[in-house]
Structures are given as structure tokens and as C-alpha cells.
Amino acid sequence: MPPIPFKNLSNFNLTIEVEAIANESFNDKPYDIVTQNFVNCQANTQFFVNIQLKENMSFKGPRPAKDYIRKILVLKIKGSSIYYNYPMEILVFEGNNNSGIN
């Protein structure tokens, strides 16, 4: 997945804590996403948050031709109570409906 661009418009270097949260369990779904834990960003510069699609190896049954992942991307400035929320909906398409991500 391509990284998601953001921009630090402040005059301070920041460390951002990254988390993707959901109110549902992904134990019984074929796919999930994971994010990096921290991003160091310089003052007045662009930075990127990396997200990876992860296949649930313990998922039993056929992979669906199309799956949705809905989570909230939370960016929290380390050492403060400031955070930003971004809802995400990721569509996963299975190319040949066999195991393995396409």
C-alpha cells in the first residue's frame, strides 16, 4: 500500500505515535492492516505514515473476492494530549480467490 502523506506545519520537530484502531475483532477476518509505531517528523516538512496489508494465516475458509477493512488512524503527538483521527476504509480485492494477497 502506498504511504499516506501528512505535513508538519509547526516550527518544532515532532515524534508522532501511530495506531489503527477498530471496534471489531479481526481474528475471524481474512485480512487486517498494521501501521508503524512512530514517525519522526521535522519542522515544516512532509512526512509519511506506512500501512501494510496483513493476511490472517489462521483464517479458515475461502477468501472473499472483496473485503472491507474499516479502522481509525490515530496520530498522537508524543508527550502531549494532542491527537488527530482519520477514518479509513480499505477495500481488498482477491485476484484469483485463492490464498495469497493480490
Enumerate the domain spans of the chain: 4-93
Cα–Cα distance between 92 and 59 in angstroms, integer? 15
The three-state secondary structure class of 17 is: strand
pLDDT tens digits along 14-35 = 999 999 999 888 888 888 899 9
The answer to whether domain 4-93 has CATH 2.40.160 is no
Residue 94 confidence (pLDDT) above 80: no
Query: In this predicted model, what pLDDT tens digit does every residue of 54-71 receive, in sequence order?
Result: 988 888 888 888 888 999
d(CA 11, CA 50): 23
Q: What's the pTM?
A: 0.81
Residue 12's closest CA among 36, 43, 41? Answer: 43
Nearest to 17 by CA among 86, 87, 83, 89: 83
What's the pLDDT score for residue 23? Answer: 87
Asked if 50 contacts 44 with a C-beta cutoff of 8 angstroms, the reply is no
